[in-house]
Amino acid sequence: MTSSDTFAALAEVSTATITTVLLKKGIRNGYMRGPKPLAGDTRRIVGPAFTMRFIPAREDLAVPEAWASPRSTRAAIEDMPAGVVTVADARGVTEAAIFGDILVARMKKRGVTALVTDGTMRDAAGVLATGLPVWCTGAAAPSSVAGHIFVGWQEPIGCGGVAIFPGDIVVADGDGAVVIPVALAEEVAKLGVEQERFENWALAEVQRGLPLPGLYPPDAQTKARYDAEKKR
């Protein structure tokens, strides 16, 4: 299981750095295309994925009555443990929202950490007002019944062109959202913290006037200097 130390470490690592670390581990497809922070200023969030799956609407099924069915988004929300990051597969559809303020407010109440989707929010001002951090592709007025049917939760899904399995670790910040296969989370956290530390050091070196070649990526001399300074 992913330890709280790992979560704490990942909260210090940017999604940019995580993609670099994942690439070194052979994972090229972890960054979700589409989801961006709905609020302008956004802290980084980390948590295990709780997945939701939508398919296209069909008029015999996509009716307000579906909201009360046992396989409804409502039932899924009541099943969310505190701390999860809800990841909803909306197939990149932007013409109909998947949630509005009421459902998002309930997620917030249940202790959900954040919501990530390749779809849109309706009543986006109200969604922001709930205080739940949201990564999505924007706002759209029509409700989910206009474009989506909810078919299940905690299934493997695609979101933003990326595979998400329940329990995978999701990190999101100003650059967007990335998924870390749960088996790699601890190692990515460790390598990410170290990479982040080096990048901060290298940035400071650039700020005091050093040129890039030899510095970033570091040659042997730079590495030695960095290792020496790190020890202090």
Within 145-184, which residues bind a copy of itself (CB under 8 A)? 145-146, 149, 151-152, 155-158, 161-163, 174-176, 178, 181, 183-184
117 binds a copy of itself (CB under 8 A): no
Least distance to a copy of itself, CB of residue 203, Å: 5
Encoded one letter per residue, x for contact with a copy of itself by CB under 8 A and - for no contact, window 70-89 reads --x-xx-xx-----------
- Residues of this chain, 185-214, that bind a copy of itself according to CB under 8 A: 199, 202-203, 206-207, 209, 211-213
Least distance to a copy of itself, CB of residue 231, Å: 22
224 binds a copy of itself (CB under 8 A): no
225 binds a copy of itself (CB under 8 A): no
229 binds a copy of itself (CB under 8 A): no
Enter the DSSP assignment of 79. T
Query: Which of 68-102 are b and which e, b meaning 16 or more Cβ less than 10 Å from the residue's Cβ?
Result: eeeeebbebbeebeeebbbbbbbebbbebbbbbbe
C-alpha–C-alpha distance, residues 72 and 127, integer Å: 20
Amino acid at 85: V
Beta carbons of 65 and 59 less than 8 angstroms apart: no
56 binds a copy of itself (CB under 8 A): yes
94 binds a copy of itself (CB under 8 A): yes
Cα torsion 166, 171, 34, 118: sign: positive
C-alpha–C-alpha distance, residues 219 and 146, integer Å: 56
Pairing of strands 134-136, 36-37: antiparallel
Measured from the CB atom, the residue of 64 and 231 that comes closer to a copy of itself is 64
